[in-house]
């Protein structure tokens, strides 16, 4: 029995501890969420999860997360390309800067972005004169969600680009394709799975994001109130049922997007084997 | 032009011929787009933190940091990370060991469940503990009778922090453990080493860079967590106020300079984290380079031994 598992000692202790700790920290609290949602009953759950204010919050959270993830997908491929293929002054600094949104606490990012994009801020002033309002408007939420999503696409595309076989590009060039044609037909298809993975990761992060958004969004119900903020508001009013229902909807969307990543990655692996 | 041809003839492989390199104009445009994207979205927020922090001069900056409420927030943040990181470290080592060294049913499910906190919104991470330990929660009434306070108190902050940082160390350690394999451990076992000896003498030195990497990332997240902690903290000044929550309060009072002074501490932490991260990556690479050489020598060794015999 033990030999089939592996011969090293410590199986019972390490797995036992792992499962106990996982159970206390993650599974027990998560089951409290599921139980609370199940206890609501179907009708009440739907009423809480789908009321007008919640629907407006989902539309805002999901729509702007999609837009921010798409922005990051487009610019992410360019940044990854530049960092891998070109050598220029400041490349290392630019490469280090990519990880900053992972390391910078969200509250710090939140107040920094707010200060930049308010009427008196560095970018907010000029934009305001052009008639574009960023802080305390949906556009501000988009900016914050783009900020926190920056590393995902770049960091998933970069290794793929580094490993890309140069002979493919050589073959394409020998066969008479121009650079742009080679990029569209040869390089981009190879980068697509990684780009999609990064996109989905950025999207999943975006819909749950709270800290960097609350400062810049202005938090007006129906206009700039994101779903995580609505949960906090409901909690402050002791409306645990509504908070739980909205949390369940968000959790399902996040899990669905991560499932999509798994399918994309499994699909690519199969394609690679073929 | 001739330069690039001679590069190609040199065949160093790193230099691309004209057919594979992009034109100078395209190159400049792409670099311009990439650098401006990073500067506008990532660089500017970082710079504005430090500029705003010292906007009223250095004395005001240090006054904001010396404020008793700031000091108490620093203490609570250090305490929270000091509890959360070691607990997640022990768990990370145990979980990585059990997943990488043995085959058992349900391994896939276990790894998926370990990653679960990453797909949960920070706000929901706080909410689940409110549902568990809050006044109307599962254990709320029992705890209240015993006089134990978890929500709107320090234990809740620590629990929420542990939850959001839960998968970080496991992921890093597991990846390194799986990549390193178990051959040396099996050799040590046949030589009569005990489980603890194997772990301490063989496994731990092999995975130390992965462990450090995980601890650095976990610590940064633990000290900077806002959403989850905000839900369970209750925002009691001097008691349940961590640094990120203190920033929120100061910003809400339009005390912008003080908010940025406190924020600059966390921004410095982020920069130190990134610096350490690069240092660990660099050290791990440098150490793994000489590690490969003995293996090559070993491969060369057998023929000479055979030749001698």
Q: What is the ipTM of this complex?
A: 0.88
Chain A neighbors of B159, CB-CB under 8 A: 25
Give the three-class secondary structure for A177.
coil
The model's pLDDT over B189-216, given as tens digits with 9 standing for 90+, comes to 999 999 899 999 999 999 999 999 999 9
CB pairs under 8 A between A and B: 285
C-alpha distance from A147 to closest chain B C-alpha (Å): 6
Lowest mean pLDDT among A74-83, A102-111, A167-176, A247-256: A167-176
Query: How far apart are alpha carbons B265 and B49 in whole angstroms?
Result: 10
Which of B25, B30, B42, B50 best tests the A interface by mutation, with the highest count of A CBs <10 A? B42
Per the listing, tokens 């940082």 go with B165
**Is the Cα dihedral A41, A42, A46, A47 positive or negative?**
negative
Question: Both tokens of residue A135?
Answer: 């802080």
The model's pLDDT over A3-14, given as tens digits with 9 standing for 90+, comes to 457 788 888 999
Q: Is B224 on the interface with A (CB under 8 A)?
A: yes
Question: Both tokens of residue B29?
Answer: 């445009």
Which of B128, B167, B183, B232 best tests the A interface by mutation, with the highest count of A CBs <10 A? B128
End-to-end CA distance of chain B: 58
Burial string for A127-164 (b: 16+ CB within 10 Å, else e) reads bbeeeebbbbbbbbbbbbbbbbbbbbbbbbbbebbeeb
Rounded (10°) angle between helices A188-208 and B122-133: 40
- What is the arithmetic mean of pLDDT over B11-21? 51
pLDDT of B57 > 80? The answer is yes
- The partner residue sitting opposite B45, judged by closest CB among A11, A116, A250, is A116
The model's pLDDT over A174-208, given as tens digits with 9 standing for 90+, comes to 888 888 888 888 889 999 999 999 999 999 999 99
Q: Do A107 and B226 touch (CB under 8 A)?
A: yes
Q: What percent of chain B has pLDDT over 70?
A: 86
pLDDT of B164 > 80? The answer is yes
For residue A2, what pLDDT band results from cuts at 50, 70 and 90? very low
Rounded to the nearest 10 degrees, how much is the dihedral formed by the CA atoms of B249, B252, B254, B258? 20
Range B57-288 classified under CATH 1.10.3720.10: yes
Q: Do B273 and A103 touch (CB under 8 A)?
A: yes
Query: How far apart are alpha carbons A205 and A193 in whole angstroms?
Result: 18
Query: How far apart are alpha carbons A208 and B120 in whole angstroms?
Result: 7
The model's pLDDT over A46-58, given as tens digits with 9 standing for 90+, comes to 888 889 999 999 9
Question: Which of A172-176, B38-42, B134-138, B296-300 is most confident?
Answer: B38-42
Give the three-class secondary structure for B102.
coil
pLDDT of B264 > 50? The answer is yes
pLDDT of B48 > 90? The answer is yes
Domain ranges of chain A: 44-273
Q: Do A81 and B248 touch (CB under 8 A)?
A: no
Residue ranges, comma separated, of all CATH 1.10.3720.10 domains in chain B are: 57-288
C-alpha distance from A190 to closest chain B C-alpha (Å): 16
User: Looking at residue B18, what is its pLDDT?
Assistant: 52
- The partner residue sitting opposite A258, judged by closest CB among B119, B194, B245, is B119
User: Looking at residue B292, what is its pLDDT?
Assistant: 42
Residue of B nearest to A229 (CA): B123
Is A48 in contact with A242 (CB distance < 8 Å)? yes
Q: Is A15 on the interface with B (CB under 8 A)?
A: yes
Question: Both tokens of residue A170?
Answer: 């050589």
Ramachandran angles phi, psi of B105, nearest 5°: -70, 140
C-alpha distance from A266 to closest chain B C-alpha (Å): 14
- What is the arithmetic mean of pLDDT over B100-125? 90
For residue B307, what pLDDT band results from cuts at 50, 70 and 90? very low
Q: Do A231 and B127 touch (CB under 8 A)?
A: yes
User: Looking at residue A100, what is its pLDDT?
Assistant: 94
Q: Is A232 on the interface with B (CB under 8 A)?
A: yes
Question: Both tokens of residue A71?
Answer: 């922005």
- The partner residue sitting opposite B251, judged by closest CB among A10, A88, A215, is A215
- What is the arithmetic mean of pLDDT over B18-32? 80
Is A36 in contact with A244 (CB distance < 8 Å)? yes
- What is the arithmetic mean of pLDDT over B298-307? 37
Q: How far is CA A13 from CA A10, B90, B202, in A?
A: 5, 12, 18
Which of A90, A99, A105 best tests the B interface by mutation, with the highest count of B CBs <10 A? A105
**CATH fold label, A44-273:** MetI-like fold (1.10.3720)
User: Looking at residue B98, what is its pLDDT?
Assistant: 93
Alpha helices in chain B (DSSP H): 2-10, 24-38, 44-53, 57-66, 68-101, 107-115, 122-133, 140-146, 154-180, 183-190, 195-197, 204-224, 227-233, 243-252, 256-308
Please report the DSSP string for B131-179 in residue order: HHHSTTSSSHHHHHHHT---TTSHHHHHHHHHHHHHHHHHHHHHHHHHH
Query: How far apart are alpha carbons B209 and B213 in whole angstroms?
Result: 6
Is B263 in contact with B251 (CB distance < 8 Å)? no
Chain B neighbors of A85, CB-CB under 8 A: 22
pLDDT of B225 > 60? The answer is yes
Q: Do B131 and A244 touch (CB under 8 A)?
A: yes
Q: Is A166 on the interface with B (CB under 8 A)?
A: yes
Q: How far is CA B6 from CA A171, B13, B14, in A?
A: 21, 12, 13
For residue B3, what pLDDT band results from cuts at 50, 70 and 90? very low
- What is the arithmetic mean of pLDDT over A61-69? 95
Is B232 in contact with B76 (CB distance < 8 Å)? no
C-alpha distance from A45 to closest chain B C-alpha (Å): 16
Which of B21, B39, B41, B178 best tests the A interface by mutation, with the highest count of A CBs <10 A? B41
Residues 6+ apart with CB under 8 A from B150: B129, B133, B143, B156, B159
Within the 97-156 window of chain B, which residues sit less than 8 Å (CB to CB) from chain A?
Answer: 97-99, 101-104, 110, 113-114, 116-117, 119-124, 127-132, 134, 136-138
- What is the arithmetic mean of pLDDT over B73-89? 96
Query: How far apart are alpha carbons B25 and B14 in whole angstroms?
Result: 21
Ramachandran angles phi, psi of A224, nearest 5°: -130, 35
Rounded to the nearest 10 degrees, how much is the dihedral formed by the CA atoms of A174, A178, A179, A182? -70
Question: Both tokens of residue B173?
Answer: 């350690």
Q: Is A26 on the interface with B (CB under 8 A)?
A: yes
pLDDT of A243 > 60? The answer is yes
- What is the arithmetic mean of pLDDT over A15-42? 92
- Give this prediction's pTM: 0.87
pLDDT of B7 > 50? The answer is no
Q: Which of B66, B123, B40, B130 is nearest to A106 (CA)?
A: B123
User: Looking at residue A272, what is its pLDDT?
Assistant: 58
Query: How far apart are alpha carbons A114 and B251 in whole angstroms?
Result: 10
Rounded (10°) angle between helices A227-236 and A52-85: 140
Rounded to the nearest 10 degrees, how much is the dihedral formed by the CA atoms of B276, B280, B283, B284? -170
- The partner residue sitting opposite A232, judged by closest CB among B31, B95, B123, is B123
Q: Is B223 on the interface with A (CB under 8 A)?
A: yes
- What is the arithmetic mean of pLDDT over B89-95? 96
Is B50 in contact with B267 (CB distance < 8 Å)? yes
Q: Which of A111, A67, A93, A110 is nearest to B38 (CA)?
A: A93
Q: How far is CA B98 from CA A16, A51, A193, in A?
A: 9, 45, 31
Is A208 in contact with A132 (CB distance < 8 Å)? no
Query: How far apart are alpha carbons A152 and A79 in whole angstroms?
Result: 12
User: Looking at residue A220, what is its pLDDT?
Assistant: 83
């Amino acid at each position: 029995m033990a030999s089939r598992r592996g011969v090293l000692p410590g199986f019972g202790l390490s797995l036992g501890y792992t499962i106990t700790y996982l159970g206390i920290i993650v599974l027990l609290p998560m089951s409290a969420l599921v139980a609370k949602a199940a206890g609501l009953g179907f009708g009440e759950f739907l009423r809480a999860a789908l009321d007008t204010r919640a629907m407006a919050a989902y539309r805002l959270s999901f729509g702007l997360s999609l837009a921010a993830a798409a922005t990051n997908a487009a610019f992410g491929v360019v940044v990854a390309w530049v960092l891998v293929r070109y050598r220029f002054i400041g490349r290392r600094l630019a490469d280090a800067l990519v990880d900053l949104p992972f390391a910078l606490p969200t509250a710090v990012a939140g107040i920094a972005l707010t200060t930049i994009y308010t009427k008196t801020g560095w970018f907010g002033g000029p934009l305001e004169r052009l008639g574009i309002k960023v802080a305390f408007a949906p556009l501000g939420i988009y900016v914050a969600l783009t900020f926190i999503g920056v590393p995902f696409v770049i960091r998933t595309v970069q290794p793929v680009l580094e490993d890309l076989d140069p002979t493919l590009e050589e073959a394409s060039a020998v066969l008479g394709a121009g650079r742009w044609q080679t990029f569209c037909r040869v390089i981009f298809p190879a980068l697509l799975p990684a780009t999609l993975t990064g996109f989905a990761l950025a999207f999943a992060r975006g819909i749950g994001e709270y800290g960097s958004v609350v400062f810049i969004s202005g938090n007006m119900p129906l206009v700039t109130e994101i779903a995580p903020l609505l949960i906090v508001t409901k909690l402050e009013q002791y409306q645990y049922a509504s908070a739980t229902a909205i949390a369940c909807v968000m959790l399902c969307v996040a899990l669905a997007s991560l499932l999509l990543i798994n399918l994309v990655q499994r699909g690519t692996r199969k394609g690679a084997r073929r | 032009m001739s330069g690039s041809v001679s590069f190609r003839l040199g065949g160093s492989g790193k230099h691309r011929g004209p057919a594979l390199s992009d034109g100078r104009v395209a190159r400049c445009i792409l670099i311009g787009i990439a650098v401006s994207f990073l500067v506008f979205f990532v660089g500017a927020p970082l710079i504005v933190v430090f500029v705003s922090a010292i906007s009223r001069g250095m004395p005001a900056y240090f006054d904001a940091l010396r404020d008793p409420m700031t000091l108490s927030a620093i203490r609570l943040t250090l305490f929270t990370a000091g509890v959360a990181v070691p607990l997640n470290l022990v768990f990370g080592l145990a979980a990585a060991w059990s997943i990488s060294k043995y085959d058992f049913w349900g391994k896939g499910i276990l790894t998926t469940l370990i990653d679960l906190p990453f797909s949960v919104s920070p706000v929901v991470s706080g909410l689940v503990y409110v549902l568990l330990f809050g006044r109307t929660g599962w254990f709320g009434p029992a705890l209240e009778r015993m006089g134990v306070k978890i929500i709107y108190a320090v234990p809740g902050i620590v629990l929420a922090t542990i939850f959001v940082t839960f998968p970080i160390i496991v992921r890093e350690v597991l990846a390194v453990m799986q990549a390193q394999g178990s051959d040396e451990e099996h050799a040590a076992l046949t030589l009569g080493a005990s489980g603890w000896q194997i772990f301490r003498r063989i496994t731990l030195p092999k995975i130390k860079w992965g462990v450090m990497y995980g601890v650095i990332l976990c610590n940064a997240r633990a000290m900077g967590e806002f959403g989850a902690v905000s839900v369970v903290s209750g925002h009691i000044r001097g008691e349940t106020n961590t640094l990120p929550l203190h920033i929120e309060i100061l910003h809400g009072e339009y005390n912008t300079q003080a908010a940025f002074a406190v924020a600059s501490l966390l921004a410095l932490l982020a920069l130190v984290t990134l610096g350490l991260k690069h240092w660990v990556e660099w050290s791990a690479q440098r150490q793994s380079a000489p590690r490969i050489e003995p293996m090559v020598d070993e491969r060369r060794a057998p023929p000479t031994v055979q030749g001698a015999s």
